[in-house]
Amino acid sequence: MDGKLLDRLRGARRIAVLTGAGISTASGIPDYRGPEGVWTRTPSAVNAFTLANFMADAEVRRDFWRTYAGHAAWRAEPNAAHRALAELDGAGVAVRVLTQNVDGLHQRAGLAARKVLELHGSMHTTRCTGCAAGFPTTEILASGDDDPSCPHCGGILKLDVVLFGQLLDADVLGHARNIAAASGFLLAIGSSLQVEPAASLCTVAVRAGATLVVVNRDPTPYDDDAAFVLRDDIEAVVPELCAAVGNR
């Protein structure tokens, strides 16, 4: 670990954390673009994550629901990285997580829901694309319907997640930008930083004078903007970073 980074982190009072799929792989949830990623192993799977395809094709929707019915996230537990961030917040450091993940593991690790902005939504809720009624996803899956429809209006149901071709919630994104700009540090952990506009939070933070730290196995488009780039194991390095912050 770079001693200069640890020195700079020591005693920080406010930390923003942008997390991607890589922080949850140690919990048994596969990422998307890595060597064993969902889209690497099955490139056609991306079709089910495109809004136009999902809305137009019942078979695409069936593939999507089959994917999530057996998704590893239902059985996953927070790992050491999730827990370290929650414990740091519990120790009095203002931690705000801006996550691209939909698995809810940051909250299960102990972070208050209000301190986690789910940029791409949550797999734990399902919403009607017609009347916008919301339901617990477990309730929808328990129905056994392979292409569920809304019990209120008959509309197409979709996990409350952002698909390709769908805009992020403007209020959530605006709040995330404000957090990135107001924090002295932005730790980008386990994200390929290829999906916009979430990845552009790195630019927002750097332009506001924050120190950007990228922790990711592979190179990202934002490595040149980062003050520090770490290729270390996320489950090992994040607790170390958090310990440095907490060491006043």
Rounded average pLDDT over 214-238: 96
What pLDDT, on a 0 to 100 scale, did the predictor assign at position 3? 80
State whether the Cα torsion 47-50-56-58 is positive or negative: positive
What's the pLDDT at 68?
87
At 218, the amino acid letter reads D
Residue 16: Cβ within 10 Å count: 26
Q: Which residues are catalytic?
A: 120
Q: How confident is the model at residue 34 (pLDDT cuts 50, 70, 90)?
A: low
Task: Over range 171-191, report the average pLDDT.
Answer: 96
What digits encode the pLDDT tens for the residues 78-112?
999 999 999 999 999 999 999 999 999 999 999 99
211-215/228-230 β-pairing: parallel
What's the pLDDT score for residue 80?
98
Confidence of residue 35 (pLDDT cuts 50, 70, 90): low
Averaged pLDDT for residues 5-9 = 90
Residue 42 pLDDT > 60: no
Q: How many CB atoms lie within 10 A of CB 101?
A: 28
β-pairing, 134-136 vs 116-118, is unpaired
- The better pLDDT of the pair 46, 131 is held by 131
Q: Are the beta carbons of 55 and 4 closer than 8 angstroms?
A: no
**Sheet containing 157-161: order of strands:** 134-136, 121-128, 157-161
Q: For 202-212, give one letter per residue: b (16+ CB within 10 A) or e.
A: bebbbeeebbb
